[in-house]
Amino acid sequence: MAKTPETEHPVKAFGYAATDTSGSFSPFKFSRRATGETDVQLKVLYCGVCHSDLHMAKNEWGFTQYPLVPGHEIVGYVPHQVVTEVGSKVEKVKVGDKVGVGVLVGSCRQCDQCTNDLENYCPKQIQTYGFPYLDGTINRGGYSNIMVADEHFIIRWPDNFPLDAGGPLLCAGITTYSPLRYFGLDKPGLRIGINGLGGLGHVAVKFAKAFGTKVTVISTSLSKKKEAIERLGVDEFLVSRDPEQMQAAVGTLDGIIDTVSASHPVVPLLSLLKPNGKLIVVGAPEAPLQLPVFTLIQGRKTIAGSGIGGMKETQEMIDFAAKNNILADVEVIPIDYINTAMDRLLKSDVKYRFVIDVENSLKPE
């Protein structure tokens, strides 16, 4: 007989779960595995709310298994004891460290991708929630009081780097940092477009500015212009629904990071690129994008995709962010606000990332 989530592992845990396609969350008791030789068990203090959590909660990608405990922007810290339990062979962290867990908690560690620090592209990668772990049980994420992960997939947290506003970088940060780096869009003086000024987009702006590029935000919302220019320091702001603005900017950008997770046309974005320009898609719409081949051919342009980063690059990103004071703009919420937060996220009514204060609001019943 199959074990219940509450008894499938020996360590009692508590969190919030979605139980059906309504995506509505409620308190949920479950269990974590015992800490293995290379595992780290940590107390979750903050967990960011990613748009992926909303997609998964509502089964919009078609593979959600309920009950679902989301959360892959996880940070843990307790003043006298952060890592509450460490395995006997753990070398990376020790009791007293601040740590983070991002999108990945497992991979094969043997394929070409893994041996080249690209665990995020391993065909056997294991994501932090909603996927089977090595023992066949379904992973549960950071909307919970404790977390267990292999030390290879633990991020060391820099001293004096904020936990609440830093947490979203474990997904939103690496998702935008990695393509800027890999596709050579991190060179000073390049003109870089960021499509969408939400959870991913505002972090993309901060990294692109830190690299010394000239940043253009492309948005459907004119209401975001003032803040984008005055507070985030963007150089140009284009309203994508304004044909005159878009026409005037044709052929001006070296690359675009497309962060939008709703269905949208890509031809207008491709038209903004110079010849040899690159459109990098990092948002994940539920419906396929249409590929306009003629526009690609005319300018020898590239459409590519990029997904998070490997563990080495994620650590590099966090260290770069700490050195350059790059943080997400967050609204910290109690966990019992999560259903309202998801409704607001659906309406893009957040600047720019919800972060759950797990320690102070998640109390076992």
- Its sign, for the CA torsion 246, 251, 252, 257, is positive
CA dihedral 165, 332, 363, 99 (to 10 degrees): 0
Token pair of 114 as six digits: 């893994």
On the 0-12 / 13-18 / 19+ scale of CB atoms within 10 A, 154 is buried
Tell me the backbone φ, ψ of residue 228, rounded to 5 degrees. Answer: -60, -45
Note whether 255 and 273 are within 8 A (CB): yes
Return the residue matching tokens 């041996």: 115
- Identify the structural domains of the chain with CATH numbers, from first to last: 11-171+309-361 (3.90.180.10), 172-305 (3.40.50.720)
- pLDDT of the residue at 295: 87
Q: Summarize pLDDT for 299-350 with one digit per residue, the tens.
A: 999 999 999 999 999 999 999 999 999 999 999 999 999 999 999 998 889 9
Mean residue pLDDT of the chain comes to: 92
Residue 275's pLDDT band (cuts 50, 70, 90) = very high
Is pLDDT of 243 > 50?
yes
- pLDDT of the residue at 29: 95
Strands, E, within the chain: which ranges? 11-18, 25-32, 39-43, 46-49, 74-76, 83-86, 99-101, 104-106, 126-127, 146-150, 154-156, 191-195, 214-219, 236-239, 253-258, 273-281, 302-305, 330-333, 353-357
For residue 15, which amino acid is it? G
Mean pLDDT confidence for 261-286 = 92
Token pair of 24 as six digits: 């509505």
- pLDDT of the residue at 79: 35
- pLDDT of the residue at 81: 45
Mean pLDDT confidence for 203-216 = 98
Q: Summarize pLDDT for 49-107 with one digit per residue, the tens.
A: 998 999 999 998 899 999 999 999 999 954 344 556 777 888 888 888 899 999 999 99
- pLDDT of the residue at 96: 80
Note whether 18 and 66 are within 8 A (CB): yes
- pLDDT of the residue at 84: 64
Tell me the backbone φ, ψ of residue 348, rounded to 5 degrees. Answer: 60, 35
CA distance 84 to 77: 9
Is pLDDT of 124 > 70?
yes
Residue 2's pLDDT band (cuts 50, 70, 90) = low
Rg, C-alpha atoms of the chain: 20
For residue 45, which amino acid is it? L
Note whether 322 and 105 are within 8 A (CB): no
Its pTM stands at 0.93
Note whether 186 and 211 are within 8 A (CB): yes
- pLDDT of the residue at 83: 59
Determine the straight-line distance between the first and last CA of the chain, rounded to whole angstroms: 27
- pLDDT of the residue at 139: 95
Count Cα atoms within 13 angstroms, Cβ side, for 323: 9
SS (H, E, C) 82-113: CEEEECCCCCCCCCCCCEEECCEEECCCCCHH
Residue 288's pLDDT band (cuts 50, 70, 90) = confident
Q: Summarize pLDDT for 169-204 with one digit per residue, the tens.
A: 999 999 999 999 999 999 999 999 999 999 999 999
Q: Summarize pLDDT for 125-161 with one digit per residue, the tens.
A: 999 999 999 988 999 999 999 999 999 999 999 999 9
Q: Does residue 357 sit in helix, strand or coil?
A: strand
